[in-house]
Structure 1
Amino acid sequence: MANPKLKTPPQAPPLFTHTPESLISNTEKLLGRSKSLMDSVVRDVTPQTANFKNVLLPFAQDDNEMALESHIIGFYQAVSTDAKLRDASTEAEKKMDDFAIEASMREDVFSLVDAVYKSQKDDQSLDAESRRLLEKDHKGYIRMGLGIPAGPQRDRFKAIKKRLSELSITFQKNLNEEQDGLWFTPKELDGVPDDVLDTLKKGEAGTATEGKLWLTFKYPDLFPTQKYCKNAETRHKVFVANENKCNDNVELFKEAIVLRDEAARLLGYPNHATFRIEDKMAKTPETVDAFLGDLRKRLAPGGLKEIEKLKELKKQETGNADKYFLWDHRFYDTLMLERDYQLDQNRIADYFPLQTSIEGMLNIFEQLFGLVFVQVEGKDRDAISETGKGNDTVWHPDVQMFSIWDDEEAGHGFVGYLYLDLHPRDGKYGHAANFNIQPGFITKEGTRRYPATALVCNFSKPTPKKPSLLKHDEVVTLFHELGHGIHDLVSRTIYSRFHGTSTVRDFVEAPSQMLENWCWTASQIKSLSKHWSYLSPEYAEAYAASAKSGEQRPSETMPDDLINSIISTRHVNDALFNLRQLHFGIFDMTVHEPATHADAEKIDASVTYNSLRHEISKLDGPEALGEGQKWGSGQATFGHLIGGYDAGYYGYLSSQVYSADMFHSVFKKDPMNGKEGRRYRHTVLERGGSQDEMQTLEDFLGRKPSTEAFYEELGVA
């Protein structure tokens, strides 16, 4: 996979040598530099002499340089094991957000930008990306309140923006730092796989927890318990406790939706959703509501049919199926897949060791996009580190680092750095996500600055007896997040503002969602698979020791019957899965488009969240046991709606329209068509947000996108 000649990149990787003190002092230096630049531009340029080159360009170049440090400064709060460093990262991010609010509300700067916009918005001597920057920056100042007359209203708007920044940072910090869980006896966890139970903390002898196991709400504990635990009461307890794990966030979320509504009305919008969606692909809340409503109508009958089948299965198991509960669903969904479709998730996981799955994925991306991935470790890492110490180029010993290059045909050029941080630890971001560490852009000198991007996931750690093994849905998650990473790496924009995944929110998921299709293609599943017992002599020995007498060693790659069982289940209980996504999307729109501000203040987000879930998904919650609708606060555990997907969660569903259209039109016949893969890389991924996303889609498809493939895929065409 690796060409030895490609091991000395033209740009050193970023360093992770910060201390809590240096994070704060570096932040203050960055902000001081930016303020000085703004002050000097305002001093030296008048609205009469203002042009793109002396106003917008210096600011854009400062943004470029600032992003090289600011993304890392904010990244520590998601990944550092040092609580003081996480706290400093949080404090630094708050300082940066406060500065950004102050800077984007400077009337003296806006008067110059406004003058440039009026004189150069149609100037064809500016390249298209620069004209887009001018248009977006100009609109950005207006959306930050500079259309509001100076005085009490504008001051109030600024105070709201600062408070919203605080709320977002605190909310996410609470999620990252959450360490709740429950004690259970092994009997209460009957059915949970041994490889999960073996990793759980054991109660201390002589205490009330003796003989019990501590189950956390982190994914490697939570999901297997919901899927495999035979004890319904345990699943019930875990489900409800997980929905209540961050109750400090309940008030933060409520305050955020009220303040967002007030801010939108100060700007002259009828609600926050109208404000947010205006510059997305959908343009208006009416378009979003119509899309979600139509999809709900199409999916509802299928959801009810799926529930009836699952109830039958529950009745066979328990003798009673009056209700089908939220904590039943993952369990009976898994049981149905095993019984009716012979889908043995644990046997499948044996063929997806984490490391070989990653190697297989990188190999697919190499063939498809003309890339070469070179793992950089040991002395090679020392050699490219600016300090001569390879450990300084990662934030934790578990992190893997790759340098990425174009292949021989494309000239062996350097592309950027990829980091994989794959296992859970205290204080770490708890879901799966891609983080841009440093964006790419064109420097003042006209050279290319290369990006660095990180995948942060929470897959179980390997043990001496078994490697880390992925369920198929985790393989899909890994592919999805790696899709964001590739988007980030191959992007080629002038300005960091538009780099990689910096697109509108209702398009950003489409490239990653499209790549998920490779996880449902027989030839690709085969190429990704390798039975864990073939990884090393030690693992072969461990497998032999655990195998039943006379049991043959499985084949090295996944057998066809197992592959077929995966593919045949792709759309099983699909209506219920998508109704769950609709619940999130419709809840998001409901709380962000109240008729009046008084209505916004009256919203009980927990009741709204729980009642909408029941109405849309038709699954029973504790309210069916007479507990009312205040039994949990799932919105308080939902980082998306506080961290940028507000009035935008619908984008996960609407971008599936685009991803299905791209895959079915271009890749379905031949998923490994390298010519089309490279065309996709250059036409879609390289552009980032540097042009209108609808234009990007039309350039690739050769026509306007269609919903046909999406509805066909869901079986509701």
Structure 2
Amino acid sequence: MKTSDNPLLQEFNTPFNTAPFSIITEDLYEDALAKAIKIAQEEITLITSNKEEPSFKNTIEALDKAGEKLGRISSIFFNLNSAETNDEIQRIAREVSPQLSKFSNDVTLNLDLFERVKHVYNKRDQLDLNPEQLTLLDKKYKRFSRNGALLDDKQKERLREIDTQLAQLSLQFGENVLAATNAFEMHVKDESKLSGLPESALEAAKEAASSRDKEGYIFTLDYPSYIPLMTYADDRELRKEMSLAFGSRAFKDDHDNQENVLQIAQLRFERAQLLGYDSHAHFILEERMAGSPEQVNDFLNELLEKAQPAAQSEFDELQKFAQNHKDFPIDQLQKWDSAYYSEKLKQQRFELDDELLKPYFKLENVINGAFEIANKLFGLTFKKNAEIDSYHKDVMIYEVYNEDKSLNSIFYADFFPRKGKRNGAWMTSFKSQWKEDGHDSRPHVSIVCNFTKPTSTKPSLLTFNEVTTLFHEFGHALHGMLANTTYRSLSGTSVHWDFVELPSQVLENWCYEKEALELFARHYETNEVIPQEYIEKIKAAATFLEGMQTMRQLSFGLLDMSWHGIDPSQIEDVKDHERTTFEKTDLYPDVPSSCMSTAFSHIFQGGYSAGYYSYKWAEVLDADAFEFFKQKGIFNREVANLFKDNVLSMGGTEDPMELYVRFRGSKPKTDALLKRAGLIKT
């Protein structure tokens, strides 16, 4: 195929240069990626063959721009591999990932290129560079020095082998989790076994069965199906069956990930050692706010010490409540009882449950509420555009404008589960922001979630947890939308990994505030604004079982560090290692057939290896930041502008702590988080 015949390799003749999904067929990707790699290689050759003395412009800026087409095509392809995949896309991903890994290695191990970068880096004090340029130079230099440029030829070859293997293993890990998730279904024919389940969950399960040409009800491991059953089903055996299926995904089944976990951990360790680091965590954390594994472990253990007494007390209370429940008493609280009895206790204590709140959280209203809050804070407006191509009919697309009517971004929103879409929620982009020759190229940002679908009788009504999830991902999206940097690689969410969750987590706070809720929380049938008593109950329930929730998050962070902060070569059994790690955080009895590591996609497929702690780290930042908003008013434009100008728009152009202090006036303190969580007295 000629380059001119492949639309992926041409300039997109589309509104706002958006991806032309309707004319991109699967057979185009391999050809496009192969040719884009070749184009990128030629761009690198132009830099290295330049006879002029290396300068910031002809080397560092040129390097940042090199591979632009490859990056764009890769973004489109791998976003689809997460949100709309199939066997063919997965096959292509397995084929092209090693090629992309090889190209990346070819760049970072290119001695001629490194010599030019090093020449500029060594003269940086004489170049009168601004902070963004200095950051770009530092990052480009470290990209080489931290990825093998200083190794000998034999070591470089081994590094290439490791990176190729890791790319393949990571893909295989994700495919196995998706396949294991899709392989399970619970088929219930007798409606009497489903007592306790709300009408909306029954209707969705009935439609799921009908779509598979079956009678009765079908439940899957997709969150909108799994969570209502675990929360409301009175039948303990059904909850147990679902819990065991979820907990054993890719563990001792047809899609077993145990060997992949061991290999990924070992290869990451070997790679770190090759580069002169004690462990993968030492390598990763050198470029994070936290700085070192010791600091991360100290941070996690400090919070653990504060949370443990509260968590144990909450667990004991929940167990006593379950043992004395008037309708469904049990002897011992198990993992499959957690959501069910927690919900019952919450209803008793606060007279509040998801089914009471869901009518006030129609998806379209929540989306519009997020938009209105973005308008009040940052002056953004959103205009739906049905003419822009999308990769699935469920995806909604918006043009986003600034207060001066200039285009801010294109926003994609993909909310419902389907077979080719992985579980969970995430933000991504199809195109980043940058400036060149006076032109500001605006970003194309996407959020992907898995919310309850509309049924034949009801619109999509969100649980309160789904509302906060939408706001969380929208916070990430705002970080991308409000990007205002010169260089592609520093734009938007291209920040230290333990800083990236601040914009997302801070936006969740608006979901608990009366002024914000009244903008969008309206009954889907009567349009009645959510009653004040419900708002007060939402706020009161915000710290319900917070000690247990904190322990759960800390256990994930500690598990991540246990895989990546040590030499894993002595780990022979994935489950045994995990069991040992969880000993100091587990409240529930262990389930021998369950294993988290084999489905822990954040750290073995996503970008959170040695970084899962950052969710808790960012909670410290977000609690401290929102306290500032609360002091001045949650829609105070002065504070919002400080946040936009010093955090959201700056991307990775400067040290994140400096940016935070410029916004807040001081470094963050853990007190705000501990008070909000109810772990210390106010």
TM (norm. structure 2) is 0.92
List aligned pairs for 1:121-136, cutoff 5 A.
Answer: 122-136=125-139
| Aligned equivalent of 1:427, options 420, 427, 437 | 420
Helix, strand or coil at the partner of 1:506: coil
1:412 maps to 2:405: yes
Q: In 2, distance between residues paired with 1:235 and 1:621?
A: 16
Tell me which residue corresponds to 1:455: 447
Contact 1:351 1:531 in 2 (8 A): yes
Q: In 1, distance between residues paired with 2:66 and 2:152?
A: 28
1:437 aligned partner, one-letter code: F
Helix, strand or coil at the partner of 1:361: helix
Contact 2:59 2:116 in 1 (8 A): yes
Contact 1:311 1:324 in 2 (8 A): yes
- CA-CA distance at 1:94 after TM superposition: 4.2
Contact 1:80 1:86 in 2 (8 A): no
Q: In 2, distance between residues paired with 1:202 and 1:506?
A: 41
1:41 maps to 2:47: yes
1:562 maps to 2:562: no
Over residues 611-659 of structure 1, what are the superposed CA-to-partner deviations in whole Å (9 max), with x where a residue is unaligned? 433530312233xxxxxxx422211212110211001100000111111
1:640 maps to 2:640: no
1:244 maps to 2:213: no
| Aligned equivalent of 2:200, options 195, 205, 208 | 195
List aligned pairs for 1:443-592, cutoff 5 A.
Answer: 443=436, 445-534=437-526, 556-592=528-564
1:609 maps to 2:609: no
Contact 1:220 1:460 in 2 (8 A): yes
Tell me which residue corresponds to 1:162: 164
1:676 maps to 2:639: yes
1:344 aligned partner, one-letter code: D
1:374 maps to 2:383: yes
| Aligned equivalent of 2:664, options 701, 704, 712 | 701
Tell me which residue corresponds to 1:316: 324
Contact 2:36 2:67 in 1 (8 A): no
- CA-CA distance at 1:265 after TM superposition: 1.2
- CA-CA distance at 1:244 after TM superposition: 1.6
Q: In 1, distance between residues paired with 2:208 and 2:438?
A: 61
| Aligned equivalent of 1:340, options 343, 349, 354 | 349
Helix, strand or coil at the partner of 2:226: helix
Helix, strand or coil at the partner of 1:198: helix
Contact 2:250 2:257 in 1 (8 A): yes
- CA-CA distance at 1:34 after TM superposition: 1.1
Tell me which residue corresponds to 2:58: 54
Contact 1:522 1:567 in 2 (8 A): no
Tell me which residue corresponds to 1:442: 435
Q: In 2, distance between residues paired with 1:63 and 1:274?
A: 29
Tell me which residue corresponds to 1:395: 391
- CA-CA distance at 1:295 after TM superposition: 0.6
Tell me which residue corresponds to 1:661: 624
| Aligned equivalent of 2:24, options 13, 18, 21 | 18
Q: How many residues align?
A: 656
- CA-CA distance at 1:459 after TM superposition: 0.9
Helix, strand or coil at the partner of 1:199: helix
Bigger drift between 225-234 and 76-85 goes to 76-85
Distance 1:608 1:323, change over 3 A: farther
Distance 1:587 1:203, change over 3 A: closer
Q: In 1, distance between residues paired with 2:337 and 2:173?
A: 29
Gap runs ≥5 in structure 1: 1-8, 382-389, 535-554, 623-629
Helix, strand or coil at the partner of 1:350: helix
Q: In 1, distance between residues paired with 2:214 and 2:675?
A: 54
Q: In 1, distance between residues paired with 2:643 and 2:472?
A: 16
Helix, strand or coil at the partner of 1:564: helix
Q: In 2, distance between residues paired with 1:310 and 1:700?
A: 41
Tell me which residue corresponds to 1:304: 312
Q: In 1, distance between residues paired with 2:250 and 2:322?
A: 31
- CA-CA distance at 1:484 after TM superposition: 0.4
| Aligned equivalent of 2:149, options 146, 149, 170 | 146
Distance 1:36 1:699, change over 3 A: same
Distance 1:646 1:159, change over 3 A: same
Helix, strand or coil at the partner of 1:11: helix
Helix, strand or coil at the partner of 1:502: coil
Q: In 2, distance between residues paired with 1:616 and 1:561?
A: 35
Helix, strand or coil at the partner of 2:148: helix
- CA-CA distance at 1:350 after TM superposition: 0.7
Tell me which residue corresponds to 1:600: 569
Gap runs ≥5 in structure 2: 1-13
Tell me which residue corresponds to 2:5: none
- CA-CA distance at 1:85 after TM superposition: 3.8
1:80 maps to 2:84: yes
1:423 aligned partner, one-letter code: F
Report the RMSD for the aligned CA atoms in angstroms.
Answer: 2.2
1:399 aligned partner, one-letter code: V
Helix, strand or coil at the partner of 2:73: helix
- CA-CA distance at 1:81 after TM superposition: 5.6
Over residues 456-493 of structure 1, what are the superposed CA-to-partner deviations in whole Å (9 max), with x where a residue is unaligned? 11112112311010011110000000000111111111
Q: In 2, distance between residues paired with 1:414 and 1:89?
A: 33
Contact 2:203 2:455 in 1 (8 A): no
Bigger drift between 501-510 and 555-564 goes to 555-564
Helix, strand or coil at the partner of 1:245: coil
Helix, strand or coil at the partner of 1:183: strand
Over residues 357-389 of structure 1, what are the superposed CA-to-partner deviations in whole Å (9 max), with x where a residue is unaligned? 111111111111111111112xxx2xxxxxxxx
Over residues 214-256 of structure 1, what are the superposed CA-to-partner deviations in whole Å (9 max), with x where a residue is unaligned? 3210001111111111122221121111112223222211210
Contact 1:23 1:92 in 2 (8 A): no
1:406 aligned partner, one-letter code: N
Distance 1:124 1:669, change over 3 A: same
Contact 2:269 2:279 in 1 (8 A): yes
Tell me which residue corresponds to 1:541: none
Q: In 1, distance between residues paired with 2:486 and 2:70?
A: 15
Contact 2:323 2:332 in 1 (8 A): no
Contact 2:432 2:442 in 1 (8 A): yes
Helix, strand or coil at the partner of 2:409: strand
Q: In 1, distance between residues paired with 2:448 and 2:670?
A: 32
Q: In 2, distance between residues paired with 1:585 and 1:26?
A: 38
Distance 1:469 1:708, change over 3 A: same
List aligned pairs for 1:98-137, cutoff 5 A.
Answer: 98-120=102-124, 122-137=125-140
Counting aligned pairs with the same residue, the percent is 28
2:457 aligned partner, one-letter code: K
Contact 2:208 2:219 in 1 (8 A): no
Tell me which residue corresponds to 1:3: none
1:195 aligned partner, one-letter code: S
Contact 2:382 2:399 in 1 (8 A): yes
1:350 aligned partner, one-letter code: P
Contact 1:64 1:441 in 2 (8 A): no
Over residues 471-519 of structure 1, what are the superposed CA-to-partner deviations in whole Å (9 max), with x where a residue is unaligned? 1111000000000011111111111111111111111101111111101
